[in-house]
Amino acid sequence: EVQLVESGGGLLQPGRSLRLSCAASGFTFSDYAMHWVRQAPGKGLEWVSGISWNSNSVGYADSVKGHFTISRDNAKNSLYLQVNSLRTEDTALYYCTKGTMVRGGDFDHWGQGTLVTVSS
């Protein structure tokens, strides 16, 4: 069974940094693209960032470019999102998602999310 378990969220002040993690199991992690999708309270889904299976290709939404860094460790079956200079608009539930083998941008499994709250 595919499992994606996010961690690292919390209540932080603007300007601080944090690293979100996603522990993957139940599939061959190194074969698949992975992504972060976030959802602000009461709002819709926003794709944030994605990374190819071998880390050669990464992408970011314009809203987070230069501000977030995605990475992965295939040996540890883990996905990461480094968030620097937190802003209040980064407050959201952050989901880790898995791409499919055929189309890396089709998200067939999701974690339950980790909540990031940015407030002074």
Binding site for another protein (CB under 8 A): 33, 35, 37, 44-47, 50, 52, 57-62, 95, 100, 103-108, 110-113
CB of 15 to another protein, least distance (A): 27
Tokens of 58: 């990464």
Kindly tell me which of 83 and 99 has the beta carbon lying closer to another protein.
Answer: 99
Q: E-strand spans in the chain?
A: 3-7, 10-12, 18-25, 34-39, 45-51, 58-60, 68-73, 78-83, 92-99, 107-110, 114-118
CB of 46 to another protein, least distance (A): 7
Kindly tell me which of 13 and 67 has the beta carbon lying closer to another protein.
Answer: 67
41 bridge partner residues: none
**Pairing of β 114-118 and β 10-12:** parallel
